[in-house]
Amino acid sequence: MKKLQGNLAVLLVLLLAGVSARAELNVLVIEGLGGEVVYQKQFDKEVAAIRAASAGLTSADHLQVLNGEAATRANIMAVLRQWAISLNKEDRLAIYLIGHGTYDGYEYKFNIPGADLSGAELARMLDAIKSESQLIVATGSSSGALQEALKKEARIIVTATRNGNERNITQFGHLFAEALAAPAADTDKNGRISVQEAFDLASRKVKDYYEAESRLATEHAQLTGARAGVFAIAQLAGAEVHVTAANSGLIAQREQLDSQIEELRLRKDSLAEEEYFRQLEPLMLQLAELDARIDAESGKAVQGGGSP
């Protein structure tokens, strides 16, 4: 049963990735106050990585970064109000809160110049936006409090901590940002990194970090939202394939082959292992040859995950 679910998920990824790619992605990256030079530098790096990753998926006019003195509550509200007017149901939005957060037992606050931004305010503004595909990533201390504050069906929420009470500086932020450019994050090697993939790699690295330091983990990243596996947030260099008149036939063939492979994978449990791989091999060989032809048509030597 577990295998079947896994395969269906793969199938959904393949189907939905196309849908998602066509919807407009709107990105807002907010960099909070570092407090100390070392944290400010770290946040700068994270923002740069997220900006670079997002730039590969959306146009410059759909990517906004608020940092330094510009990262005020008023400016944030202005962007969100604008989105409430301009975005449609099928549009996607991604908001990254890069910086320290606090939690007083009742309310989460994101630390920015001037008045802080509260979780409740953010929730109200997000609820006013029609977009059904919303991603919020908060990488700092106490960010886990946002899980409850922003909870909504279909909304994907990634936080560095389990709840508001995990108040120490986090490792998750820079590891999540690094995951956006890491081939290792792209576990299905489709050239795109989904929220789920980036989260999985960053969480693993957080775990590895605390184990290597022999310290009790003071952060436990959380992800909620069923569509995290299909919401792409980064694309690896050279992974993009544009459908052209020359390759459209090949891509159609590949979709047909993908279906055959998926059909076989769904039957895996009913076949002896040897028989399964015997049937899988010719299909994979066909797919490999087809992908090579598509790459040749697209002028690419090797793509789709590249060299490990």
Residues that bind other proteins (CB under 8 A): 10, 37-38, 41, 183-191, 200-201, 204, 208, 211-215, 258, 261, 265, 277, 280-281, 284-285, 287-289, 291-292, 295, 302-308
Q: Nearer to other proteins by C-beta: 24 or 188?
A: 188
Q: With 0-12 CB in 10 A as exposed, 13-18 as middle and 19+ as buried, what is 10? A: middle
Residue 268 beta carbon to other proteins: minimum distance, rounded to whole angstroms: 8
Q: Nearer to other proteins by C-beta: 22 or 215?
A: 215
Q: Nearer to other proteins by C-beta: 79 or 287?
A: 287
Residue 180 beta carbon to other proteins: minimum distance, rounded to whole angstroms: 14
Phi/psi for 136 (5° steps) reads -120, 125
CA dist 32 and 144 (Å) reads 16
Count the Cβ atoms, other than its own, within 10 Å of residue 151.
12
Q: Nearer to other proteins by C-beta: 97 or 228?
A: 228
Residue 230 beta carbon to other proteins: minimum distance, rounded to whole angstroms: 16
Q: Nearer to other proteins by C-beta: 38 or 78?
A: 38
Residue 273 beta carbon to other proteins: minimum distance, rounded to whole angstroms: 9
Residue 10 beta carbon to other proteins: minimum distance, rounded to whole angstroms: 8
